Structure 1
Amino acid sequence: MSQFIRHYLLAVQFFTRIPVTGRLAEWVGYSPAMLRASAAHFPGIGWLVGAVAAGVYVLLLALLPPVPFAPLVAAALSTLATVLLTGGFHEDGLADVTDGLGGSSERHRALEIMKDSRVGAFGAMALVLALLCKVALLALLGSAESMASGAEGIPSEAPFNGWLVAMALFAAHVVSRTLPLILIRVLPHVGDAAGSKSKPLADQITLTSLGVAFFWCFSALALASYALSAITLIVACSFSVLALLWMVRLFTRRLQGFTGDCLGATQQVCEIAFYLGLAIAL
Structure 2
Amino acid sequence: MDSERPDEPAFPGAGLAYDGAACLRFYSRLPVPALPGEGDPHAPPDFTRVPRMLPLAGLVLALPGAVVLLAAWGLGLGPFLAATLAVATGALITGALHEDGLADVADGFGGGTTRERRLEIMRDSRIGAYGGVALVLALALRIGALATLLDRVDAGAAVALVLAAALSRTAALAPMVLLDPARRDGAAAAVGRPGHPALMVAGTLAFALALLAALLGLPFGGIVLMLVLSGLGALAVTALARRRIGGQTGDVIGACQQVAEIAALLGLVAAVPA
Which TM-score applies when normalising by structure 1?
0.86
| Structure 2 residue 176 is the aligned partner of structure 1 residue 199 | no
- 2:63 match: 51
The answer for the alignment partner of 2:152 in structure 1 is 144
Mapped pair 1:215 → 2:184: no
2:198 matched to 1:187?
Answer: no
Q: 2: distance between equivalents of 1:225 and 1:15? A: 26
SS at match of 1:225: helix
2:46 corresponds in structure 1 to: 34
Q: Normalization by structure 2: what TM-score?
A: 0.88
Instruction: Work out the number of aligned pairs and report it.
Output: 258
Structure 1 vs Structure 2: percent identity of aligned residues?
A: 34
Deviation at 1:24, TM superposition (A): 4.4
Letter in 2 for 1:221: A
Residue correspondence of structure 1 range 132-171 to structure 2 within 5 A: 132-145=140-153, 162-171=154-163
Aligned partner of 2:4 in structure 1 is none
Counterpart Cα distance in 1 of 2:174 and 2:241: 13
Contact 2:80/2:143, CA 8 A, preserved across alignment: yes
> Counterparts of 1:87 and 1:26 in 2: how far apart (Å)?
28
Q: How does 1:227-246 map to 2 (within 5 A)?
A: 227-246=217-236
CA displacement, residues 151-187 of structure 1 (integer Å, 9 cap, x when unaligned): xxxxxxxxxxx32101110110000001111221111
Of 102-111 and 242-251, more deviation after overlay is shown by: 242-251
Tell me the alpha carbon deviations over residues 176-217 of structure 1, each in whole angstroms, 9 at most, x when there is no partner: 0011112211111113x33x334333x221101101211221
1:249 partnered with 2:243: no
Give, as a single letter, the amino acid of the residue that structure 1 aligns with 2:148.
Answer: L
CA contact (8 A) 1:15 1:86 kept: yes
Partner of residue 105, structure 2: 97
Q: Secondary structure at the match of 2:29?
A: coil
**CA–CA separation in structure 2 for the residues paired with 1:117 and 1:42:** 27
The answer on whether the counterparts of 2:160 and 2:213 sit within 8 Å (CA) in structure 1 is yes
Cα pair distance change 1:34/1:238, threshold 3 Å: closer
More displaced 10-residue stretch of structure 1: 39-48 or 169-178: 39-48
- Report the alpha carbon displacement of residue 29 of structure 1 after superposing the two structures with TM: 1.9
CA RMSD of aligned residues (A): 1.8
Q: Which amino acid aligns with 2:133?
A: M
Q: Distance in 2 between matches of 1:41 and 1:125?
A: 32
Structure 1, unmatched stretches of 5+, are 146-161
Matched, 1:60 2:50: no
The residue aligned with 2:255 is 265
The match for 2:265 is: 275
State the shift of 1:32 in Å. Answer: 4.7
Give the distance between the partners of 1:166 and 1:124, measured in 2 at CA: 27
